């Protein structure tokens, strides 16, 4: 049973922690600072996996499974990371307004020398939003820790996202169905 595993989640994301809890997994959180830069020539799915693997390689546990993840938002090939400040968040959200974008989450599972990585992709379409709505969102939901400057589980997801093609939990930051299957395979 996966619920009996000793898992370390290497993420400060409250959403990832909530998702693992909802999956019934027992875990503790451990963090390490990792440089999240990546080579310029990588595609969005490769960037997410590259950074996830970088995070995983910072940990060396023989008896615990470490799970790391990295989520990025791509709009017409442009990577929208976490906003640097309010103006940057306004700029990103204005770009997402009325457009379709992709959310990629790279996930790495590691224990000792064994490592397994995968990614998931979800297409997201947003309705057109006004600058007043963008300011309301930033003021009330402070999306500074979120790729693309939004959280699908809050006002933006409820009031702005028109449709999604793919995993909802992937957009939250952890594709749980794929993770569960990968953990089953990893522990065989």
Q: Which residues are catalytic?
A: 70
Q: What percent of the chain is helix, strand and coil (3-state, nearest 5)?
A: 40, 25, 35
Which distant-in-sequence residues (6+ apart) come within 8 Å of 25 by Cβ? 2, 3, 5, 7
Contact 93, 128 (CB under 8 A): no
Helix (H) or strand (E) holding 64: none
Residue pointed to by tokens 């939901």:
141
């Amino acid at each position: 049973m996966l619920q009996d595993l000793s898992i370390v989640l290497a993420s400060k994301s409250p959403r990832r922690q909530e998702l693992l809890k909802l999956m019934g997994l027992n875990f503790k959180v451990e963090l390490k600072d990792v440089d999240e830069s990546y080579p310029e020539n990588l595609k969005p799915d490769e960037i997410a996996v590259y950074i996830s693997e970088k995070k995983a390689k910072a940990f060396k546990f023989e008896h615990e499974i470490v799970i790391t993840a990295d989520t990025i938002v791509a709009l017409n090939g442009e990577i929208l990371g976490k906003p640097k400040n309010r103006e940057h968040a306004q700029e990103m959200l204005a770009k997402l307004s009325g457009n379709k974008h992709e959310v990629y989450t790279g996930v790495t599972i590691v224990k000792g020398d064994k490592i397994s990585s995968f990614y998931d992709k979800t297409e997201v379409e947003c309705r057109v939003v006004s600058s007043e709505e963008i300011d309301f969102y930033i003021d009330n939901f402070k999306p500074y820790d979120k790729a693309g400057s939004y959280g699908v589980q809050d006002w933006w997801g409820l009031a702005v996202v028109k449709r999604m093609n793919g995993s909802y939990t992937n957009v939250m930051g952890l594709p749980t169905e794929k993770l569960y299957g990968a953990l089953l395979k990893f522990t065989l």
